[in-house]
Structures are given as C-alpha cells and as structure tokens.
Structure 1
Amino acid sequence: MNFHWASVSCLRVTTNVLPGSTPRRGQNPATDHNVTQALVVAGGLVYAHATDGLHFLDAATGTPQTKFPVGSDGLSKSLSEHAGTIYTAVSDGSSYGSTLYAVDARSGQQRWKLRTDRAVRSTMVPSDKAVYFSSGNGGPSVLHAVDPSSGRQLWTATLDGGFWHSAPVVSEEVAFVCAGEKSGKSTLIALKAR
C-alpha cells in the first residue's frame, strides 16, 4: 500500500509521497489499494483499512509501521480503537457475512476473530465491558455485544423493522440504535446491556 502524505504548517501545505507511491495509470494517486472509509488515529498512529490489510502508520510522518493482513476482499467501513486494541470488521466478499478482528494496536498481532452470518453495517463501539455493533442483510437488523478480550458473543437483539440501522451509541450500559424501514419510518431503540 502506498500513501500520499500531506502536512499543513502555517497555512502552507507540504506534500510527501511515500516510497513506491508512483501512481499507475487509472489508479488513485494516493494509493495502489482502495482505502475504505475506515480510519482511526490513536497513540501517535494512523490506522487505515485498505483492501490489502490494516495499515499502521506514524501519524506525524506517514511512515509505515506494520500491517495486519486481511482476506482478499477486505472491505471495511468499521474501525475502532479502545484500550490498546483495534477492532475491525471485514466483509467476506461474495457471502453476506463478516469477520471481526481484534488486533493489538502496537504490534499488529491478532488477539481474536469472530465470524458473523450477517454483514456488519455499523461502526463497532468498544467499551471496557463489550464491543457493540449492528449487522444485517436487508431484513431485520441485529445488535450484537461481544466480549472485548475474547470475542465471545455476549448477546444479540433483533431490531424489529430494522431494514437499515445506525451505529450504536452506548451510555451507562444502555445501547441506543436507530433502525429504519424501506418506507422511511425510523425507530429509536434503547437496550439495557445484559
């Protein structure tokens, strides 16, 4: 993966192109792999999820630190950090499922993974007690809570009428999520964590 790094200093923009980042015809000049909408900055690093893996880059210079490989499809819009762990969900390509990964934020080593039979459709929201996310395949959505240290599923809840859904928001162990129908009607749902 090649990144095009820019820094702003006193309203003057300087651009640094990382080694090997010469764009090929028809490609994005910033990268030779698709960077998804998943970016996180924490602990002096930028975590960028691309089709070839999860990249760890120095936040000040853009220098690659390490990479966690994912499947060949590797598409993700979900990337979160909490307590030294990066959580990401990767679509399984032709199937409707996803695989969730917990990765050490410094070493890039996998801590655990969990396969779901539905596509993860929201950002994962990690806390000390659970990692919350919603999933769905065009029918009712499901809100999940998994153990942040093991990946063990703690509970799930079907969101009635939830054709689409927001990322969950968690406050004092109550998970809030908005679920909507094709008709445009939406419902705010609050679930007490079990």
Structure 2
Amino acid sequence: MLRLYDLARGELLGPPVDVSVEDERREPVDRPAAVSLLAVNGRPAAVVLTGHQYTGERFLVGLWDLTDGSHLAWLEPAASPAVATTIVAGRPVVITVGTGGTLRVWDAAGRQTPRTIPTGADRIRFLAAGVLHGRPVVLAASHDGPVTTWDLTTGTALDQIRLPDTCRGIALGERGVLVVAIQNDIAVIETEIQGVVPDLGTPSEP
C-alpha cells in the first residue's frame, strides 16, 4: 500500500493506494522498493518500484495516479531499486536503471523512452535528479563507485565525486547541498546542482 501524507498538517490524504500486482507465478508482488513523485498531465502521480524474493534483481515499475489511485502504465522492469523524476524539455520524466548500468529516461506522459544513457557503471543503486545551470542532470552512484553527474539532454558525464568508502545513499537539496551516506558517516557537499522538488499542485481528497 502507498500512503500519501500532508507533511504540513501531518494528515493522511485519502485512502491508501494499492500498488500490489501479480507476477507470472501468480505470486503477489507487494513490496515497494522505491517511490518517486511527479506530475503527469497536471495530476499528481507516483512511480513505484516493487519486487519480491522471486524477482531477484528485477523490479516492476508502475505509474500510479495519486488522485484516484488508478494505475496509469507499466514501464520496462528495472535492474536496480534506484529511481528519480524530473523535467526534461518541459516533459515529466522517470529515470530508472537497466542492465549494464544503462540509465533509462522515460517520458512519463508519452510512455516512451526518448533517451538511454550507457554509463559503464556496475550495479547503480542510487539516483538523484537536479538542475545544473538550467540543464537537467541526474547523479548516479553504486556502492563502490563514484557519484557521477550525467547530462540528461546530451547523455554525457559532467563530473565525478570519488568517495573514500562504500556509498549507502545520496540526496540532493534545492539549494545545492548534496548529502552522501558513506559507510557509517554522512558527508555534506556544497554543489552548484539544485535538487528537484516536483510541483504536485494543491493536494485534494480523492
């Protein structure tokens, strides 16, 4: 179940959204691994990666309408629980990871893949979307690799931050603060990249 809260009031907005599905074994796939928010055609939506023990490193990627709880689309299964959302050329996009560390940039409104970005990185586990000098970018990292910034328009690598130990997670703030969990420590890095917060409009009851 997916629950949407108004953080300002601390209240649950409407009933939970059931994001469980069945796989080819008719087994329920009901363990969300990651959630990212975006607006699709002016309506608040969530992209949800789900899986269970039988799917292994394969995660189902579903797009759900948060207003009425309806299922909008399935995207190609991902090879990693990492997901991010942003705007590219005025279109809402979903970024997931395919085999071989390839970044897939999905047009959420058109249900198409306008770009794939081969990174050559092994087992990308973390993504964070941002804007650098007006251009959409995504930061990608694996447990043992650097944090690499990729231009979502050209597909080129712009920068790398090498870490002294295992990466456990990344987050990017609106004011250019990158937070990286490194093994048992937290690093706070000032950057020119601004984090993306989706504009979901004014919440309303379903």
**Which TM-score tier does this pair reach, normalised by the shorter chain?**
0.5 to 0.7
The equivalent of 2:137 in structure 1 is 131
Q: Answer yes or no: is 1:80 the counterpart of 2:115.
A: no
TM-score when scaled to structure 1?
0.64
Secondary structure in 2 aligned to 1:122?
Answer: strand
- After superposition, the Cα gap between the structure-2 partners of 1:11 and 1:188, relative to the gap in structure 1 and judged at 3 Å, is closer
The equivalent of 1:69 in structure 2 is 76
- After superposition, the Cα gap between the structure-2 partners of 1:76 and 1:111, relative to the gap in structure 1 and judged at 3 Å, is same
- After superposition, the Cα gap between the structure-2 partners of 1:69 and 1:190, relative to the gap in structure 1 and judged at 3 Å, is same
- Which residue of 23, 32, 40 maps to 2:29? 32
- After superposition, the Cα gap between the structure-2 partners of 1:5 and 1:191, relative to the gap in structure 1 and judged at 3 Å, is closer
What's the CA shift string for 1:2-50, capped at 9, x where partnerless? xx67899x989757869x9689xx95xxx53643222324242222223
RMSD between aligned alpha carbons? 4.0
- After superposition, the Cα gap between the structure-2 partners of 1:118 and 1:168, relative to the gap in structure 1 and judged at 3 Å, is farther
CA contact (8 A) 1:130 1:148 kept: yes
- After superposition, the Cα gap between the structure-2 partners of 1:134 and 1:79, relative to the gap in structure 1 and judged at 3 Å, is closer
Which blocks of at least 5 consecutive residues in structure 2 are unaligned?
Answer: 6-10, 51-57, 194-206
For residues 166 and 185 of structure 2, the distance between their equivalents in structure 1, rounded to whole angstroms, comes to 10
CA contact (8 A) 2:80 2:124 kept: no
What's the CA shift string for 1:83-129, capped at 9, x where partnerless? 4232323263xxxx522111112121001112331333323213241
* Greater relative contact order (CA < 8 Å, ≥ 6 in sequence): 2
TM-score when scaled to structure 2?
0.61
Secondary structure in 2 aligned to 1:77?
Answer: coil
Q: Answer yes or no: is 1:103 the counterpart of 2:106.
A: yes
Q: Percentage identity across aligned positions?
A: 11
CA contact (8 A) 2:38 2:85 kept: no
Letter aligned with residue 129 of structure 1: R
Q: Answer yes or no: is 1:176 the counterpart of 2:183.
A: no
More displaced stretch, 107-116 vs 79-88: 79-88
Which blocks of at least 5 consecutive residues in structure 1 are unaligned?
Answer: none
Letter aligned with residue 146 of structure 1: W
The equivalent of 1:145 in structure 2 is 149
CA contact (8 A) 1:179 1:189 kept: no
For residues 15 and 91 of structure 1, the distance between their equivalents in structure 2, rounded to whole angstroms, comes to 29
Letter aligned with residue 136 of structure 1: S
Secondary structure in 1 aligned to 2:126?
Answer: coil
Letter aligned with residue 69 of structure 1: E
The equivalent of 1:189 in structure 2 is 189
- 5 Å matches for 1:159-174? 159-164=162-167, 166-169=169-172
For residues 189 and 125 of structure 2, the distance between their equivalents in structure 1, rounded to whole angstroms, comes to 17
Which of the pair has more CA radius of gyration?
A: 1
The equivalent of 2:204 in structure 1 is none
CA contact (8 A) 1:176 1:191 kept: yes
